[in-house]
Amino acid sequence: MKLIENYRTIAASIEMLFSPQVEVVLHDLATNTINFIAGSTTNRKVGSPSHLSQADRALPAGGLGPYTKMGEDGEKQRSISIVLCNEDHHPAYMLCINFKVGELERAIQTLSTHITRHTNKALNEHFTESWQDKINTFIGDYLSKKSSSIKQLHRNEKKELVLELKKNGAFQGKHAAQYIANALKISRASIYSYIRQKD
């Protein structure tokens, strides 16, 4: 059995154990695409872009984390990333385990200290450099202010969020409109409709 098959089995097993709170993603560093995904709560799938930076893809083998970030759905996550080698002992894959803690924090405030401890600030900065992470964080902040979730947002609230994202330059990234549409679970046509109505 090839190493990649072992990695997929491990990823699937972790998701089975912690479902539905966990998403496990195996990234191919050479192609910068998703090789395997389990427990996805977004539109990401096998073959989708990984959006890893050059620095991420040049990391040596080993573990990184835990660190805190916002997912595409605006939910707070605690994550660990592990750079894995191929048969030639060269770093070839990154296994990311993303555990959703936003719902737990809202439901059980007394556990918030335990959930957020041991965060590595340096790693937080490393993994929030991309425009995708900035959009995720912006959406997460918006949802926190509203004490809501993507599923609970009304049409006018999604429109308001889109306009705030535009105001803050979120659409400057390549394919940003589609990325935001996926995160808000609306069509790209709706995104442009909201913007035109404002203009």
Domain ranges of the chain: 1-129, 131-199
Confidence of residue 115 (pLDDT cuts 50, 70, 90): very low
Confidence of residue 198 (pLDDT cuts 50, 70, 90): low
Mean pLDDT rounded to a whole number for the chain: 84
Residue-wise pLDDT tens digits, 132-160: 888 988 998 888 888 888 888 999 999 99
Q: Which CATH class is domain 1-129?
A: alpha beta
Sheet of 33-38: strands edge to edge? 33-38, 22-28, 91-100, 76-85, 62-70
141 in Cβ contact with 160 (< 8 Å): no
Is the peptide bond between 20 and the residue preceding it cis, with omega within 30 degrees of 0? yes
Q: Which of 80-84, 89-93, 99-103, 189-193 has the lowest mean pLDDT?
A: 99-103
Residue-wise pLDDT tens digits, 23-34: 999 999 999 999
> Pick from 129, 161, 126, 155: which is nearest to 142 by CA?
161
Q: What is the pLDDT of residue 111?
A: 44
Percent of the chain with pLDDT over 90: 43
Residue-wise pLDDT tens digits, 118-128: 555 555 555 55
Residue-wise pLDDT tens digits, 54-74: 888 888 989 998 998 887 777
SS3 content of the chain, % helix, strand, coil (to 5): 50, 20, 30
The CA dihedral of 180, 185, 187, 192, to the nearest 10 degrees, is -40
CA atoms 36, 55, 71, 187: torsion sign: negative
Q: What is the pLDDT of residue 130?
A: 80
